[in-house]
Amino acid sequence: MIIIAEIGINHNGYINLAHELIRQAKLCGADIVKFQFYDPDKIFGPHGTYPDKKNYEFALTVQFNYKQAKTLKQWCDQEGIEFMASVFDSERFEWIESLGVKRHKIASRAVQDKELCRKILKTGKEAFISLGFWKGRDVPYKNKNARYLYCVPKYPCEYADIHLPASFAKSHYQGFSDHSIGIEVSLVAVAKGAGIIEKHFTLNKGMVGPDHICSMTPQELSDLSRYARMMEKVVGR
């Protein structure tokens, strides 16, 4: 069982808050903390892939530079938890490769960027790939290192929109990237055989930002870590 606490941009641009989130994620049982690194202009800017004025203005306040990313990696090493990141361009891919990451994450928004995804997969490292926006019947990349996550890209995601595989073992998914409120759906996924659970992580769901509301708190992460690992022993894979 791999549990990923996605800090993402829930640090709200404050690197000391990011450090505390790393520390709490480790204390509460996560295996990996994940961040997001992207160029706001290329993603949410007027000529970006997903132009959105509100998200663009917020994104400008929450992006870290390479030096800060290096600091985050060092803090993860000190705390004894794996550092991982989703990136959205080649420059930031080079950032995290230079930091010696063990694995990569390809976000739903980046799956269509074939050039970037092939660079990531070419490293030979394990890559977790969310398929929230993927409409194909088969997986987008046939690669032995790809681990696909079921995902519904809504923040928050309603229960009615979630259609988990009847059995993860009999699907092309190895895990679940959960954007619902609470940890219940993640535990259902574990019961259905998911071996990877990714969920946003925050210290306070009431903070400003698009992801806090569908994030888990330290108490919820502790519960998820404990129950998921208990259930894994019963379910087996």
Interval 24-49 mean pLDDT: 94
Q: How distant, in Å, are the alpha carbons of 106, 142, 165 from that of 172?
A: 16, 11, 9
What six digits make up the tokens of 77?
């090493």
pLDDT band at 237 (very low <50, low <70, confident <90, very high): low
**Confidence band for 106, pLDDT divided at 50, 70 and 90:** very high
pLDDT of 11 reads 98
Mean pLDDT on 209-234: 96
Neighbours of 169 (CB within 10 A): 15
Contact 105, 34 (CB under 8 A): yes
Contact present, 198 and 216 (Cβ < 8 Å): no
> Buried b vs exposed e over 73-108: b needs ≥16 C-beta within 10 Å?
bebbeebebbbbbbbbbeebbebbeebebebbbbbb
